[in-house]
Structure 1
Amino acid sequence: MFKKVRTLRIVNLSFIVSFLIFLVVCSNLGKPKHSLWIQSLFVIGNLPLSDTNKEKNDPPTTGIQSEYEIHSMKPNILIEDESFEIIGNNLMKSLDADILGSGTNKYITYLETSDTKLIGHINRCPSVPIEIITGNSEIGFQKQFFPCLGSFPYSLRSFILDLNQPLPNMSPVTSDTSLEFLSNLGEIQFEINRSLPVGMSFDQKTGIISGIPLQTTNNEFLSFIVYAKLKDSPEVKIKTFFTLIVLTNEEKSNRTCRSISPSSTCNGPSPHTCTNASKCFYSQMACIKDPKCGF
């Protein structure tokens, strides 16, 4: 009985030794000595299910993007008709890649270009937020989205006002996308670039223009710029343009375009003129567009 037990133990021990030798031999075939297969058995259970660090730390490897790095871009919110700055490495290569998204190069004018810095001017915002990959091999890479805010409209682009008469609705269109986005960032206030005619007032909280104009604009359209900006960060601002003219009844009549009969000196397809003009126009549209005529 004891002999059988001893024989069984010897057989088991021989089997274990043979298995260990087999593992050592297999682990060294085609493998470097510093990465033993036996060691991997002990660490495989500790490997993460997905290598999230690889996605964060590996640089972009598609096309020309692997040749440059963007370390930072500011401001975080891009504004139409304003400038922005990009800092990084090999940035001259990025210009060929259209780094701010497909087609956005046609909306942007670069004012300064070097391998370490780009300064651009946004002529017009693209229809979607700008997406770029920022970071470096040390801190990792990440996708960032930069919204671009354009101008906002007033209820009209051009206001024709009667002297001594209450104003019509003159207010910003609050449903505008850019104005709504700015409002979601914090309290906003409005600012106008020049004084309004006597009798008219401007509300900085709402941007609404009200009152009764008591002064004409001398038969001329005046141009105004209104800014909407964050109260706590006034550098974040968007703007709009509009024109207005204040007229007496006589001035309004003198600007009115009327058709006239063709003559040897005015033989257009639809000749027009107005009292303020000393000439005729070949069409009603040409008369309306003249600074002294039309509205």
Structure 2
Amino acid sequence: MMKWLSIALALAGPSQAALRFGCSTLSIQRLDPLVEPGRLPSSHVHQIVGGNAFNVTMEGDIGEQGSCTTCTFSEDFSNYWTAVLFFKHPNGTYKRVPIMQNSALPNGINGGMTIYYTQQDFFSNGNQKITAFKPGFRMTVGSPTTNNLNDAKGHVGLRFVCLTDKNTRFPELPDFPTKPCKGGIMTVHHFPSCWDGKNLDSPDHQSHMYNTAKEAFSPAGPCPASHPVRMPQVAYETLWDTTQFNNMWPKDGSNPFVLSYGDNKGYGTHADYVFGWKGDSLQKAMDSSCMFNACENGRPLKSQNVQAMNKCAVKNMVNEDLDSWLKVLPGQAM
């Protein structure tokens, strides 16, 4: 009896949640308080989701500064952002590509992203202690200066998917698809999950973290002694509605899409994260055993409806045209 009991307890282990939720668009503008704090405007356009404390500069406990969030979980005032996708017409002008909601999310979300905090993989919670991020924590993944396919392949978890429909997940590509995609293009950004246990940030916004994850939502390897603390595996999925441009594809077959910092290959795809969960709400979730929608409605996280998510916004501090056909990408020289 004792033997079976000890096996059962060992199998129970620490129970862990896996979160998957939507955040509608908070803002699309040239701001980057992590890499370019205080600079208005920043060098290129981002899509930002999350809490309304987002500003030119962000410091301190963001969870205590916001009054609303575009995310399903109303205690999550974190900010999540990526570069924006543009279509380049054969005549040389640019048009911003609209963002679609993921099929896994409730209807009516305004653009936005799907955010994941996973423990092990897409299908199971895992069985190790996961430590939530601390107030003031921030990180980036990828680099806009990456300019070749080999280096892009080395950025594990930063990928593109040519969608047949919104449920397509594979194959994951290290660069832009080479043909029109029937259902649009998805960008995927997985962050590292091993922390050094000391620094909330680092000069390059990456060295305080270490990646042991492999492709997609596969289990990550053990954390090294230099970065011993296992944190949630954060990932973003953004769905770009490229279909309206499929009949304008260049005659020579070259890729017509470009990220907002001027990258027409996709090698430099990158993402930013600033932690802002209120109090111990994220730790509470990581210590529970809920998965995805089952974590909502106070089990254990407070959640809100789509109307409340869409209502939250920050003011546009740059005031430049992002919706017309543009002669040049915002912030990029002619």
Range of TM-score over shorter length: under 0.3
TM-score (norm 2): 0.19
Which structure has the larger Rg?
A: 1
TM-score normalised by L of structure 1: 0.21
Higher normalized contact order (CA 8 Å, seq sep 6+, divided by chain length): 2
Higher share of residues assigned strand? 1
